[in-house]
Structure 1
Amino acid sequence: MSDCQAYDKAPWSDQYEKPFEPSDVVAGYDNLPGLIREAAEKYPDHIAFTACMANGMNGSLRYSEVEAMSDAFAVYLREELGLERGARVAVQMPNCLSFPVAAFGVLKAGCVLVNTNPLYTAPEMKHQFNDAGVEAVVIMDMFMDKLESVITETPVEHVVVASVAQWFPTVVRGIMKFVLRYWNRAIPDYEMAATPIVRAVEMGRRRQAEQDIKVADYTADLGLDEGAVLQYTGGTTGVAKGALLSHGNLLVNMRQLDLISLGYVEAGKDCVVTALPMYHIFAFTVNLLLFYHHGGRNVLVPSPRPIQNCQRALENYPVNWITGVNTLYNALLNEEWFNVYPPKTMKVALAGGTALHQSVAERWQKVVGCPIVEGYGLTESSPLLCFNPISRPRKDSIGIPAPGTEVRLVDDEGQCVPLGEPGELIARGPQIMQGYWHRPEETANTLRDGWLYTGDVAEMEEDGFFRIVDRKKDMILVSGFNVYPNEVEDCLAQLDKVHESAVVGVEDEQSGEAVWAFVVKRDDSLTESELAAHCKTNLAGYKRPRKFIFRDELPKTPVGKVLRKELRAELKSQQKKQQAA
């Protein structure tokens, strides 16, 4: 038996909850708007989304309302703004009722949705909007000052603005807007022209009625291979780039999730808490799309930090599901209110984005009475590649490949490693991205002969379960968010007083990993406060170094490449000594 035969035999085939045929792994719809429309037809009076604030104030939209408003927003994009099919539209909002209205409207218009992190700084926004060629932005009012500072340096021509209280009951909305603007001073003043989203919906609805527009016509011939979402990621290295996910990629990945969770999701009955941001591919595919498809109620938490922000969402609603990263579950378990009153209706907690600590999984099972089921995937795979069977999740394992997915472990030459030995995990399947937006060299490096090279090192057990043992790339995972050292080092290099730097990830109880930076001074007057202030201006919070360490020099290879692994090993050794002391 050759080394590859160990994987080609697909030993995981016997591990699925229920048998399936290859023909079961299909999109099932012509495009995403078809799936969205069908859900509204099946569950028109069901509550689709409830946005729950930390104090319990809330607002909800039913499926019929989401359908009508997203239809109207699609008409606004196409008829009022004149956007063509395939135009890139950025949506830059935290979890709120406006997010599904805008996102579904973009897809129904036949445009490409560009999910944008609202925590981005102005320079990061500028990069993404320029790279994607964004023509319109739907943004939360709290971030308008950042957009205003860079919009003239981008191709953005149209701005739609929303509020976190959009579509809440009138009195509640008024109170929230007053508090946010005048008490918290969270809404900045701006002079840039922008259309409120409620006005955009009204304009689209009027056009739709006057011209008898059938929104489905916008996407009647939209194929599965056409781009649906530009999801930005660092890929394997460097500056953020857009992974182009097609309608087929996302629809098939949802079908794969369905085959895994068969019998656990109750159509039209389940309720999921979405604390992870929906602009992140995990929550976008699983929480937003999959649970909408099944008629679920989605309870949205605008921000899970501090963790008390999740309390009302978990206590006030009959929650069956929750998705999160290890740090979120760990934070909940450290809250007295959660331990005293855990959600009694919870069936399953889904974990991804970063490694799940076994101690957290065991405590969760004890406190809540349901399992945390870990999965594995990447932005480039829509995202699911592997998942544990729900009825019997395995400790310290990412599970088995999603139905219809091939997985191999290979060495540096691309040759399969023997069973039981570590190798880079590569995968092939219908959920793999089309490529990186306008980056053929990066695409060719990551996608080789149809295989996605993940950069993660794993081992496979005889029965087909996989375990991640290390990351080949230098990526740092902070609370499930990717931080790429090159980007942070490039930011530090902008300071004249910095000679050079090296950025590494350090194990952290709160965020999984924390960003630390080793810095060699060019000017002796350089201080940590100067570095911190510079990073605050140019980097999102989770990317900013938690600690700066000044060094006279950095370890390097003979050709001058900084050896980050030596710095990581040094810090790890120091942590062990401190723990032993």
Structure 2
Amino acid sequence: MTVVNRPWLAAYSTDISPELPAPEHASLAHLIDQTCTTHAQRRAFTCVVPNGMNGTLTYRQVGEMSDDFASFLRHHCNLEPGARVAVQLPNGLAYPVAAFGVFKAGCVLVNTNPLYTPSEMVHQFKDSGAEVLVISDMFADKLEEVIAHTGIRHVVLAGVPEFFPRIPETIVRGVQKFWSRTLPPVPALAVPVLRLREALRIGRGAEKVGDWDSLLRDDLALLQYTGGTTGVAKGAMLTHGNILANLAQVKIMGGRHMSGADCVLTALPLYHIFAFTANLMTFFDLGARNILVPSPRPVQNIQRALENYPVTWITGVNTLFNGLMNEEWFAAYPPKTLKAAIAGGTALHQAVAERWQAVTGTRVAEGYGLTETAPLVSFNPLDQPVRAGSIGVPVPGTDVVLVDDAAEPVAQGKPGELLVKGPQVMRGYWNRPDDTAKTLQNGWLFTGDVAVMDEDGFLTIVDRKKDLVLVSGFNVYPNEIEDCLSKLDAVLEAAVIGVPDTSTGEAVRAYVVQNPDVPDTLSKEAVIAHCRKYLAAYKVPRSVVVRDELPKSPIGKILRKNLKAEARAEAAGKV
């Protein structure tokens, strides 16, 4: 693995340099401060709720508010540089203020899913050693069960309509209380609890934090917990340098197609590394406008944002793009200003990509990344024709190699585990030296994903190594079967796993959801007959389960691990 062939360099256009430029910023705090000064009068973030009401912050306001929050953390909460601050917020104006304030305080951001259960919250807060929690007031009822079991010393509450104009804020809060009853009373806690506005007022009266210039690119910026889709969630240690390098890589790949005049729709959650880097940090760095949607479920929640703003970029996962195109309002009036969509997080089905092109007249540019790589590893050059199913080429400054089970490079065109080396690769897992040693070896990150590389250096993910199904000694990749199922009109969504079989070791099982826009009833027989047309016999599902819905992660990734757990329980006679 010491010698790396780089056939992908020929795929770079004249706009794409194979080498990363010298760093522009010493830290994320420096980037944020400089960007807010340069683009002071521009609108940075607009949060849009389903009824169309909204609030907006300019770059100047974001800069001032994040300064205030940094002062609050350092002087009121008495945090030292390097202390961890958990931010558990949906998309909204409060998120960038809090997150940027954490960076300016020299502290470490711990992104936390707002939908976590109390036990999940306790695990993450204890594991990270978080001392301050910024949480949505919609979930205040979880605090009593959580705080006493953690090291949290201060709690800050923020609302979805935070920083909206007064009348819209009052209306949104009223609707929440009346219809959703999502604003529970705040329990009496043994630690101080403040509203975010009050925390900013306190910080405004304190001395401004001035020592963040001492932050180094190697300093820890983010504890980004893996989604737990393959086991217990672990905190990936991402440095300022990791994220800054990935921002440079994203901007190089975007080239002339991305600028400060852009308007990006952010429906994916900012606490997830995909939206954090691709939406929040990249477009902020450019001086562009970010349209924040607190929740994309149901998908109608996105309608007002697309209708009322000149959206040029959308990031999403396969299920989001599929869901949008099944909405009559979107199919009839796709956004006219759209340049392209960026897909990641999970495999993009070819049928969905082709349909998106037909409906919107724009492409879905697929990329690949991991929590451990901040996240971008590869991307499809925007000036080249679409290569169906490919996740593109490694981004500048990144090396990849495909290896077999003995960690030896495989022949070109053969599947192998994807290994990554580059400036965006994490430092390791927080307090997990054994896991770090297994994942990081001699500077290479073992991704656990199986890929193939063509002669031009373009990569295609075959599947997760752990999701491989072994049927009578033959490798079966669920992604291939799921892509086949997506071509059946009656199938809205599909997931494939392996289940024990006495004759073949494992057998393929497909879980499918009926497409409500197709009158034909989705039958098991029809699914199997369809697969037999396109797949070798050993790949055809032995069993088919029709479901109303499939389990998903917060960003819409279908969770095969949940289906596997159900299948194991079923085999053990527990279901």
The TM-score with structure 2 as length reference comes to 0.82
Q: Does 1:285 align with 2:277?
A: yes
What SS is found at the alignment partner of 1:229? strand
Relative to structure 1, the CA distance from residue 507 to residue 428 in structure 2 (aligned partners, 3 Å threshold; closer, same or farther) is farther
Tell me the equivalent position of 1:110.
106
What are the within-5 Å matches in structure 2 for residues 445-524 of structure 1? Answer: 445-474=438-467, 507-508=511-512
**Separation (CA, whole Å) in 2 of partners of 1:234 and 1:333:** 27
8 Å contact from structure 1 (residues 424, 457) kept in 2: yes
2:63 counterpart letter in structure 1: E
What SS does the corresponding residue of 1:441 show, helix, strand or coil?
A: helix
CA shift, 1:362, in A, is: 1.0
- Report the Cα distance in structure 2 between the residues aligned to 1:54 and 1:399, rounded to whole angstroms: 35
CA distance in 2, matches of 1:53, 1:41: 28
User: Please, which of 168, 171, 174 is the counterpart of residue 172 of structure 1?
Assistant: 168
- 1:79 aligned onto 2:75: yes
Distance 1:88 1:316 in 2: 38
8 A Cα contact 1:327 1:510, kept in partner: no
Counterpart residue number, 1:386: 378
User: In structure 2, what is the Cα distance between the partners aligned to 1:244 and 1:510?
Assistant: 41
Pick the aligned partner of 1:419 from 412, 422, 426: 412
Distance 1:390 1:20, change over 3 A: closer
Q: CA deviation at 1:470?
A: 1.8
Match of 1:409 among 402, 415, 428: 402
Match of 1:66 among 62, 81, 86: 62
* Other-structure match for 1:337: 329
Q: Which amino acid aligns with 1:466?
A: L
Distance 1:376 1:541 in 2: 14
Deviation at 1:506, TM superposition (A): 5.3
Deviations 1:55-107 (A, max 9, x none): 10111101000000000000000001100000000000110000000000000
Give the counterpart of 2:137 among 115, 137, 141: 141
Whole-angstrom distance in 2 between the partners of 1:432 and 1:190: 40
Please, which of 342, 349, 352 is the counterpart of residue 357 of structure 1? 349
- Which amino acid in 2 is paired with 1:455? G
User: Does the aligned pair in 2 maintain the 1:271–1:319 contact within 8 Å?
Assistant: yes
In 2 relative to 1, CA 372–553 (structure 1 residues): closer, same or farther, beyond 3 Å? closer
Are the equivalent residues in 2 in contact too, given 1:109–1:219 (CA < 8 A)?
A: yes
Seen in structure 2, the aligned counterparts of structure 1 residues 553 and 22 have a Cα distance that, compared at 3 Å, is: closer
Contact kept, 8 Å, 1:236 with 1:454, in 2: the verdict is no
Instruction: Name 2:503's counterpart in structure 1.
Output: none
Task: Determine the structure 2 residue equivalent to 1:518.
Answer: none
Which residue of structure 2 lines up, in the alignment, with residue 320 of structure 1? Answer: 312
Contact residue 245 and residue 433 of structure 1 kept, 8 A? yes
2:265 maps to 1:273: yes
Q: Which residue pairs with 2:42 in the alignment?
A: 46
Q: Distance in 2 between matches of 1:336 and 1:231?
A: 37
Note closer, same or farther for the CA distance 1:51–1:259 as it changes in structure 2 (3 Å cut): same
Within 2, Cα distance between the matches of 1:337 and 1:253? 35
Question: In structure 2, the residue corresponding to 1:83 is in which secondary structure?
Answer: coil
Secondary structure of 2:183's counterpart equals coil
Q: How many residues align?
A: 496
Counterparts of 2:228 and 2:436, CA distance in 1: 9
CA distance in 1, matches of 2:396, 2:19: 10
Maintained 8 Å contact 2:266/2:279: yes
Residue 85 of structure 2 corresponds to residue 89 of structure 1: yes
Q: Which runs of 5+ in 2 are unaligned?
A: 469-477, 483-494, 498-505, 516-550
Q: What is the TM-score with the length of structure 1 in the denominator?
A: 0.81
**CA–CA distance in 1 between the matches of 2:5 and 2:404?**
19
Cα RMSD (Å)? 2.7
CA distance in 2, matches of 1:265, 1:552: 49
Please state how far the C-alpha of 1:369 moved relative to its aligned partner: 1.2
Query: Is it true that 1:204 corresponds to 2:195 in the alignment?
Result: no
Aligned residue among 368, 377, 392 for 1:399: 392
Q: Structure 1 residue 128 and structure 2 residue 124: aligned?
A: yes
Equivalent pair of 1:254/1:285 in contact (CA under 8 Å): yes
**CA positional deviation for 1:21:** 4.8
Residue 474 (structure 2) aligns with:
none
2 CA distance for matches of 1:235 and 1:337?
35
Q: CA deviation at 1:552?
A: 7.4
In 1, Cα distance between the equivalents of 2:147 and 2:181?
A: 23
Does the Cα contact within 8 Å between 2:135 and 2:155 map onto a contact in 1?
yes
Matched with 1:493 is none
Q: CA deviation at 1:28?
A: 1.9
Whole-angstrom distance in 2 between the partners of 1:316 and 1:510: 32
Q: Check the 8 A contact 2:19/2:396 in 1, yes or no.
A: no
**Whole-Å separation in 1 of the counterparts to 2:321 and 2:28:** 31
Residue 18 of structure 1 deviates from its aligned partner by: 2.5
Residue 98 of structure 1 aligns to which amino acid in structure 2?
Answer: A
AA matched with 2:85 = V
| 2:249 equivalent to 1:259 | no
Structure 1 gaps of 5+ residues are: 486-501, 512-534, 556-581
Which residue of structure 1 aligns with residue 155 of structure 2?
A: 159
Q: In the aligned structure 1, how far is the partner of 2:278 from the partner of 2:60?
A: 21
Aligned residue in 1 for 2:177: 181
* CA positional deviation for 1:507: 4.8
Alpha carbons of structure 1 residues 319 and 236: separation in structure 2 relative to 1, 3 Å: closer
Q: Percent identity?
A: 53
Q: 1:307 aligns with which of 299, 304, 328?
A: 299
Amino acid at match of 2:313: W
Q: For residues 553 and 349 of structure 1, do their structure 2 counterparts lie closer, same or farther at Cα, with a shift above 3 Å needed? A: closer
* Residue 156 to residue 370, structure 1, CA distance change in 2 (3 Å): same
TM-fit CA distance, 1:260 = 0.5
Residues 1:274 and 1:508: Cα distance change in structure 2 (over 3 Å): farther
Show CA shifts across 1:266-314 (max 9, x none): 22x1100000000000000010001001111100000000000000001
- Supply the AA of the counterpart residue of 2:281: L
Q: Distance in 1 between the 2:78 and 2:509 partners?
A: 45
In 1, the alpha carbon distance for the partners of 2:329 and 2:291 equals 19
Deviation at 1:52, TM superposition (A): 0.4
Shift of 1:146: 1.3
Residue identity matched to 2:193: A
Structure 1 residues 352 and 409: alpha-carbon distance in aligned structure 2, compared to 1, 3 A threshold: same
**Which of 222, 225, 231 lines up with 1:232 in the alignment?**
225
1:42 Cα deviation after fit: 1.4
Aligned to 2:521: none
**Equivalent position amino acid for 1:179 in 2:** V
Shift of 1:452: 0.4
